[in-house]
């Protein structure tokens, strides 16, 4: 059901992008919008993982270095998930957090912050890594890249139309119509992006709990990360807010007041679902600790 819902939402996002192009430039605008969408998604498909890792200052680590235990844990979980071994990166950020990226399981990467390694137990870290591997297995990393690219393109196109005015006959409201497009189209795109992101987070929680075998490990990790995100800045994420949806917990919680427009579902709801999953797996419903 989540896959079907995601497909419908992605189709809607693409349709919105093409509709904005048509409203602003008629058939020519539609063709240009389609070409821009293809070009941006092709670029994102091949380069988004490298870009986001560079944005967050992530460095690759191996089994013979300082993060050897982390890499071994990723390898163990990847085997349990029946996935190829992803590359492992560490970010020099004090806020505990993590994300996965890559266009497919054969080209995936998992990145965690130094803050996560310092503050979480091995079991909680396993829960987080299993969640990220679930994103890789579900190919959410590609889905969210395409979603973010389309949402950004809609905002760019709307701003472009605002700059050049509204003389197109397909937009009978003229400049008023252009203003409405400039305001409403990016908001609609953002809402679709959030709907996709939230659905994929719930699914990654569920599958991640199955991979590590202990839903309460992930539940405990989510509570710790969410608490720390309110008090500890993640400066690379603040400088690149478009990447916030990649993280297991929204890294912008500390300073953003637009909670209505967050890309992540409620941590309390995620934890409640994981505790229920633990009960269904015959484990204690009490928080792990």
Q: How far apart are CA 5 and CA 199, in angstroms?
A: 9
- The answer to whether 82 is a known catalytic residue is no
Q: Which of 82, 92, 124, 132 is catalytic?
A: 132
Grouping H, G, I as helix, E, B as strand and the rest as coil, residue 92 is coil
Which of 21, 2, 1 minimizes the C-alpha distance to 189? 21
Rounded-to-integer distance, Cα 42 and Cα 44, Å: 5
179: buried, middle or exposed (CB in 10 Å: 19+, 13-18, 0-12)? middle
Sign of CA dihedral 214, 219, 220, 222: positive
DSSP state of 112: E
In angstroms, the CA 76 to CA 68 distance is: 12
276-to-121, 206, 216, 217 alpha-carbon distances in Å: 22, 10, 10, 13
Residue 147 near residue 196, CB atoms below 8 Å: yes
Among 146, 127, 112, which Cα is nearest to 283's?
127
Contact 267, 230 (CB under 8 A): no
Helix/strand/coil for 88:
strand
Coil, helix or strand at residue 174: coil
H/E segment holding residue 158: helix 140-164
Could you say which DSSP state residue 104 is in?
S
Catalytic residues: 132
């Amino acid at each position: 059901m989540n896959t079907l819902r995601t497909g419908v939402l992605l189709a809607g996002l693409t349709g919105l992008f093409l509709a904005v192009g048509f409203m602003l430039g008629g058939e020519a605008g539609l063709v240009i919008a389609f070409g821009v969408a293809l070009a941006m998604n092709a670029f994102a498909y091949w380069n988004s993982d490298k870009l986001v890792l560079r944005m967050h200052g992530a460095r690759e680590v191996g089994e013979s270095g300082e993060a050897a235990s982390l890499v071994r844990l990723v390898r163990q979980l990847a085997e349990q998930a029946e996935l190829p071994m992803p590359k492992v990166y560490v970010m020099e950020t004090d806020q505990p957090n993590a994300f996965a990226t890559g266009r497919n399981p054969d080209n995936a990467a998992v990145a965690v912050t130094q803050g996560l390694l310092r503050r979480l137990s091995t079991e909680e870290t396993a829960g987080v890594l299993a969640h990220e591997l679930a994103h890789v297995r579900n190919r959410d990393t590609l889905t969210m890249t395409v979603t973010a690219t389309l949402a950004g393109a809609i905002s760019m196109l709307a701003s472009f139309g605002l700059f050049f005015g509204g003389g197109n006959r397909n937009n009978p409201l003229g400049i008023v119509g252009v203003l409405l497009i400039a305001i409403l189209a990016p908001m609609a795109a953002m809402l679709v992006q959030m709907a996709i992101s939230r659905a994929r987070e719930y699914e990654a929680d569920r599958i991640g709990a199955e991979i590590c075998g202990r839903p309460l490990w992930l539940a405990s990790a989510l509570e710790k990360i969410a608490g720390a995100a309110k008090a500890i800045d993640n400066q690379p994420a603040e400088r690149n807010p478009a990447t916030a949806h990649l993280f297991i917990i929204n890294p912008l919680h500390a300073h953003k007041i637009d909670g209505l427009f967050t890309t992540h579902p409620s941590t309390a709801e995620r934890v409640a679902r994981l505790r229920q999953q633990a009960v269904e797996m015959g484990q204690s419903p009490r928080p792990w600790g």
